[in-house]
């Protein structure tokens, strides 16, 4: 059974950089997409972006200028950096495994395994 | 405001059936596959349905999914108090073409 675990500081100061790591166990990081999703308190889910095991990335256009994702296959980890944070970036951050493909009927993409989430507060 | 519209809340009695709708457009639901996620209070989301109507291993057949045109529907039969949760739809969007698009979520109350 694949398991994911987020780690990183729970408190970040405004204008600084949020850095989180997700460690994958119970399976290889190769061959899948790996994503970050966030959820402000009492609100819905927002996709931040994804990275393929080979290193290619896709980011939510609304966050693209501030987001960088990376992967370390030797450690079975992938990471998120979000720069110039504000209070609006306060949320629970989840990492998840993405699976998908595009065929005649369209594109299928979904998250089959999730980490438990880590709360991040942006405050001075 | 999400490009996928879900009702904020639905409710039904134990043992009954409930449906949750997810309305989109030609650039997302109409052309692509839909997934559904259950988020119990204080926990991470869990995959319930993928590729419109497929259930992952371990998900009971009380949960079902369907899609027609620009809308998708999650159905839950034999409601249990343990089904009380937030439910989210998700799909690919041809215009965004980068990340999964989520609906705003629906709070299910089992009365």
Chain B closest CA to A27's CA: distance in Å?
17
Nearest alpha carbon to residue B4 among B24, B19, B27, B21:
B24
Give the 3-state secondary structure of residue B31.
helix
Q: How far is B105 from chain A (nearest CA, A)?
A: 6
Closest-approach residue (CA) in chain B for A112 = B47
pLDDT for B28 = 94
pLDDT at A102 over 90: no
pLDDT of residue B97: 80
Query: What span, in angstroms and rounded, lies between the C-alpha atoms of B85 and A109?
Result: 23
Q: Which residue has the higher pLDDT, A111 or A106?
A: A111
pLDDT of residue B1: 59
Q: What pLDDT is recorded for position B2?
A: 72
| Cα–Cα dist A98/B98, whole Å | 12
Mean confidence (pLDDT) of chain A:
95
In chain B, residues with a C-beta closer than 8 Å to the C-beta of A119 are none
- Per cent of chain A over pLDDT 90 is 90
Nearest-5° Cα angle at B91, B85 to B97: 140
Residue A118 has pLDDT above 80, yes or no: yes
Query: Which run of H or E residues covers position A118?
Result: strand A118-122
A25 neighbors A31 (Cβ within 8 angstroms):
no
pLDDT at A110: 96
Chain B residues with CB under 8 Å of A114 CB are: 44-46
CB A39 within 8 A of CB A91: yes
pLDDT of residue B96: 82
For residues A40 and B102, give the distance between their C-alpha atoms in angstroms, rounded to a whole number: 14
What HEC string does A55-96 produce?
CCEEECCCCHHHEEEEEECCCCEEEEEECCCCHHHCEEEEEE
Write out residues in chain B with pLDDT < 70, as ranges: 1
Residues of A in contact with B102 (CB under 8 A): 44-47
Mutate to test the interface with A, among B7, B42, B44 (most CBs of A within 10 A): B44
CA A111 to CA B99: how far, in whole Å? 11
Residue A109 predicted with pLDDT over 80: yes
Given a cut of 80, whether residue A104 has pLDDT beyond it is: no
Is the Cβ–Cβ distance between A91 and A8 less than 8 Å?
Answer: no
Q: What is the pLDDT of residues A23-69, one digit of tens each?
A: 999 999 998 999 999 999 999 999 999 999 889 999 999 999 999 99
Best A2, A6, A106 residue to mutate vs chain B (most B CBs within 10 Å): A106
Burial of B53 (0-12, 13-18, 19+ CB in 10 A): middle
When CB atoms are compared, the residue of A49, A94, A108 closest to B51 is A108
**What is the C-alpha separation between A67 and A61, in angstroms, rounded?**
10
CA distance A14 to A8: 16
Q: What is the pLDDT of residue A67?
A: 98
For the cut 70, the answer to whether the pLDDT of residue A98 exceeds it is yes
- The 3-state DSSP class for residue A123 equals coil
- Residue A101 banded pLDDT, cuts 50, 70, 90: confident
Which residue of chain B has the CA closest to A118?
B44
Contact B78, B69 (CB under 8 A): no
B105 and A61 within 8 Å at the Cβ level: the answer is no
């Amino acid at each position: 059974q694949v398991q994911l675990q987020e780690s990183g500081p729970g408190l970040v100061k405004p204008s600084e950089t949020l850095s989180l790591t997700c460690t994958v166990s119970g399976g290889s990081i190769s061959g899948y997409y790996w994503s970050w999703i966030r959820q402000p308190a009492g609100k819905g889910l927002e996709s931040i972006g994804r990275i393929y095991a080979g290193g290619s990335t896709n980011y939510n256009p609304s966050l693209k200028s501030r987001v960088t994702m990376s992967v370390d296959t030797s450690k079975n980890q992938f990471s998120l950096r979000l720069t110039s944070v504000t209070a609006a970036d306060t949320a629970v951050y989840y990492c998840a495994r993405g699976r998908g493909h595009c065929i005649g009927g369209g594109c299928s993409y979904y998250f089959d395994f999730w980490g438990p989430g880590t709360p991040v507060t942006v405050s001075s | 405001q999400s490009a996928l519209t879900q009702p904020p809340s639905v409710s039904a009695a134990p043992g009954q059936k409930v449906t949750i709708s997810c309305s989109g457009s030609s650039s997302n639901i109409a052309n692509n596959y839909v997934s559904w996620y259950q988020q119990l209070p204080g926990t991470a989301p869990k995959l319930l349905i993928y590729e419109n109507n497929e259930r992952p291993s371990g998900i009971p057949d009380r949960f079902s999914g369907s899609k027609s045109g620009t809308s998708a529907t999650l159905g839950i039969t034999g409601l249990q108090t343990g089904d009380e949760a937030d439910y989210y739809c998700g799909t690919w969007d041809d215009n965004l073409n980068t990340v999964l698009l989520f609906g705003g979520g629906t709070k299910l109350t089992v009365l």
